[in-house]
Amino acid sequence: MQRHKLFQRAESLGRAACHPGGPMDETALFSRAMLVRNSAGLPFPTKLRHAEAVQLRQLLESLLKRRGALKKALFAKIQELDNAELRLLGEIMFSGGFYPEKTPSMSFAAQDGTAALINFREHLALFAFSPGLSPEEAAAEALEAEAGLSRLLNFANDSQFGFLASEVSLTGSGMRLDCLLHLGALHRSGRLDAALRHVTAQGLSWKALGGDGSDITGDFYLIYGPAPIGAEPHEAAAKLTEAARFLTLGEHQAADWLYRAENRAAAEDAAFRAWALLSQARLMSYEETLSHLSTLKSASHRLPGLDCPPQNELNRLVLICQPGHIALSEGKKRLSPAERDEKRARLLRQALSKQAHNS
């Protein structure tokens, strides 16, 4: 029962991230801040002795339960999670995967829009999610979650370099900011490669949703970067916001181009086909889902006759239709790909049917 509640709360991160009214939510699904801290006098997690790791985990869990945004959170030991649960956790945190055997005594907790990882790469990683393009809000929430702890724990800090981290790029403020953007029109118009090169030139990185960061695949991209040594979190937030606004402007221009008079029939046809498949299909892979949701996101403000869910609901569907979410949404951990596709299609039909009923 506790584990079921834990993952209900973990999934609530997606709902918090996709709350209605997020800034620029046609393009920006959510913003996130990761704030890492390490206890002074202890080696980084991969070098901790087992007894030290257990003691540190218990201490951090106790302090997080007493203070801040995780007072009511349930902690799960990552070593005790099975492969399906680890997959869901990786999807929630966009981590690319968890490997419990590499670090002893890891744990995870989530409540509303805040989450914590203990002894995963760093002693403590706090995450704050906020809807739309709002990295400054996410950064402020992460710092607020850490504030109570810093008065009780001595975090590793150097007078010259700032907070110390096992990942060199996080040394300094200990913060990394990112946002998940929909760039479907840029992709379909052939302009995405140039746009992402501009982002890279600004010192930021990108990763395709579900990809390994090396290929331009699909229509959804995580744009991220740390606050460099000497930089304040608000400076990193401003840099990320500037890059995201550049991509958003390009996305809007590309979408407008796709819906120009000479292209409009093809664009309308693609949008209504996407709506028909999402509302009627009996099997739907995640790759198909992302493609069709991307088409609806571009079309929703440009085709008034299309009975399309609001942007925040489309954003939520992008997150909850991931394979791990589908498998565990009703506690069924071992679904075949065909069973997942069937369940995903049913979830999508229900979502679009609800929208049609409310229209």
Strand boundaries in 97-247, DSSP class E:
107-111, 114-120, 122-131, 157-158, 162-163, 175-182, 205-208, 220-226
Query: Does 1 have pLDDT greater than 50?
Result: no
Burial status of residue 331 (CB atoms within 10 A of its CB: 0-12, 13-18, 19 or more): exposed
Residue-wise pLDDT for 132-143, tens only, equals 999 999 999 999
**Residue 244 pLDDT class (50, 70, 90 cuts):** very high
Whole-number Å distance between alpha carbons of 244 and 353: 32
**Residue 100 pLDDT class (50, 70, 90 cuts):** low
- Exposure on the CB side of residue 300, measured as CA atoms within 13 A: 17
The pLDDT of residue 3: 56
Residue type, 85: E
Residue-wise pLDDT for 173-224, tens only, equals 999 999 999 999 999 999 999 999 999 999 999 999 865 455 666 799 999 9
Q: What is the DSSP string of 255-285?
A: HHHHTSTTTHHHHHHHHHHHHHHHHH-S---
Write down the residue that tokens 């790909």 correspond to: 337
CB count in 10 Å sphere of residue 3: 15
The pLDDT of residue 11: 66
The reported pTM is: 0.91
Are 289 and 321 within 8 A, CB to CB? yes
Mean pLDDT, rounded, for 109-126: 91
Q: Which long-range contacts (CB under 8 A, 24 or more apart) does 210-216 make?
A: 210/286, 210/287, 210/290, 212/96, 216/187, 216/192
Are 131 and 25 within 8 A, CB to CB? yes
